[in-house]
């Protein structure tokens, strides 16, 4: 029976789906450190994580039996994708399933900060009746600046316009503007005109420290700032200084450079005492609806890979979308993207007079992936010959 380990309180629907497909599943609520993860992965075929568990090269080297990793979230920066590719470990994520949940929280944060709800709540909790319109604004007619116009940024654009906001965005890649949104040529162009600035950039290493003192200084005086993307992209010290000076009138932060491993752990931040401040514990995509959708989506990707060899929507392997097999046995062969590998595979199979029912090949960067449905199960000698082909990374037989 294949084994799956799911960490960080992944939705029960994923656990049930994997069990229904014949997996022995262990589900844990918290994240694991490197040594703990290595111990826990003994004999495990599939691993499921969210954002707190780092799957390092050392982990994969210690557990070469691991076949696939499911990131039950949007990001994959917690996994060493290059090392996973080199070892033939497929990695999947859920790039769309919690988009709506993140967008709704951003809209909520914008309205609350524009109306100074956190500040008024704080004052009332400390016995001060502060009934005033000073500093409070409607969002209608205000300009929202979206940095990163991907799945989340573009959907946010649509909802913000429905509220009557003017939308501008900045993205390094060419993106189609939705509705009346306007693309800015530079980041500073966006910052200087936006009443609200929200970050939706990805987790690539080059985005570390992306938004700091220089960017805050270019923001429109009195604007609000929101980060629900990655904790390491923002200099929180610079944010605190601009909040203290009043240059930034309010902020919402959902992600932090260092976060606890599990719910209930202690946490401290220098932003805790700021007046018009919303602090949330990385819950942008944490609605029941989103987590259930993510659970179904990623579990399906893992099951399709295990039982069909399908790499559709993998983030690190050549993508081949496969249905049920057309032969008795399916042989998957992941290899370095070298000339002639397909010919070698077919030659080895032909030497045993094995008929090929169907075959698919995909390449991506340094990797190649060929899936072959054959009319009979190859002998152990033939399978070993397939493993011995130059450049072979991983071979699996699916019956």
Listing DSSP states for 78-125 in one string gives: TB-HHHHHHTT-EEE--SSTTHHHHHHHHHHHHHHHHTTHHHHHHHHH
Q: Which of 161, 259, 292, 366 is catalytic?
A: 259
28-59 burial, b if ≥16 CB within 10 A, otherwise e?
Answer: bebbbeeeebbebbeebbbbbbbbbbbbbeeb
Integer Cα distance of 267 and 244 in angstroms: 22
Integer Cα distance of 382 and 233 in angstroms: 50
Integer Cα distance of 73 and 96 in angstroms: 9
DSSP 368: E
Phi/psi at 265 (nearest 5 deg)? Answer: -70, 150
**Cα–Cα distances in Å, from 344 out to 338, 340, 363?**
11, 6, 16
Q: Which of 87, 120, 282, 330 is catalytic?
A: 282
Mode of pairing for the β-strands spanning 356-364 and 367-374: antiparallel
Decide if 54 contacts 34 (C-beta within 8 A): yes
282 is catalytic: yes
Neighbouring C-alpha atoms within 13 Å toward the C-beta of 216 = 27
Q: Which of 63, 230, 330, 333 is catalytic?
A: 230
Integer Cα distance of 363 and 317 in angstroms: 8
Q: CA 295, 32, 263: angle at the middle one, nearest 5?
A: 70
335 is catalytic: no
Decide if 286 contacts 259 (C-beta within 8 A): no
Task: Look at residue 56 and give its three-state secondary structure.
Answer: coil
CA-based R_g, the chain, Å: 25
Integer Cα distance of 396 and 32 in angstroms: 28
Tell me which residues are annotated as active site.
Answer: 230, 259, 282
């Amino acid at each position: 029976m294949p084994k799956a380990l799911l960490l960080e309180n992944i939705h029960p629907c994923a656990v049930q789906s994997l069990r229904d497909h014949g997996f022995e599943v262990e589900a844990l609520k918290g994240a694991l450190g490197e040594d703990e993860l290595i111990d826990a992965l003994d004999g495990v075929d599939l691993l499921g994580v969210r954002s707190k568990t780092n799957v390092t090269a050392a982990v994969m080297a210690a557990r070469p039996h691991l076949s696939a990793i499911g990131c039950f979230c949007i990001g994959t920066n917690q996994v060493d994708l290059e090392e996973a590719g080199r070892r033939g470990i497929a990695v999947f994520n859920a790039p769309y399933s919690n988009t709506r949940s993140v967008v709704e929280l951003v809209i909520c944060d914008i309205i609350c900060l524009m109306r100074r709800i956190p500040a008024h709540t704080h004052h009332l909790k400390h016995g001060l009746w502060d009934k005033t319109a000073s500093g409070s604004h409607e969002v209608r007619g205000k300009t929202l600046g979206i940095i990163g116009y991907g799945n989340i940024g573009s959907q946010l654009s649509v909802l913000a316009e429905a509220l009557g906001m003017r939308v501008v965005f900045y993205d390094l890649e060419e993106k189609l503007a939705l509705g009346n949104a306007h693309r800015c040529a530079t980041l500073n162009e966006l910052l200087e005109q936006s009443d609200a600035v929200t970050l939706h950039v990805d987790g690539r290493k080059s985005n570390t420290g992306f938004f700091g003192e220089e960017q805050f200084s270019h923001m429109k005086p009195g604007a609000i700032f929101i980060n629900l993307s990655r904790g390491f992209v923002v200099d929180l010290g610079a944010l605190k200084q601009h909040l203290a000076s009043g240059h930034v009138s309010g902020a919402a932060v959902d992600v932090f450079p260092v976060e606890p491993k599990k719910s209930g752990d202690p946490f401290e931040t220098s932003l805790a005492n700021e007046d018009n401040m919303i602090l949330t514990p990385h819950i942008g995509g944490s609605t029941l609806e989103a987590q259930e959708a993510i659970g179904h989506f990623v579990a399906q990707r893992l099951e399709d890979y295990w039982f069909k060899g399908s790499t559709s929507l993998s983030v690190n392997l050549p993508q081949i979308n496969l249905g049920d097999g057309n032969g008795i046995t399916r042989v998957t062969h992941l290899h370095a993207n070298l000339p002639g590998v397909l010919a070698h595979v077919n030659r080895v199979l032909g030497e045993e007079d094995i008929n090929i029912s169907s075959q698919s090949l995909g390449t991506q960067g340094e990797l190649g992936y060929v899936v072959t449905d054959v009319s009979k199960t190859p002998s152990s000698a033939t399978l070993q010959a397939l493993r011995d082909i130059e450049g072979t990374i991983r071979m699996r037989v699916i019956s």
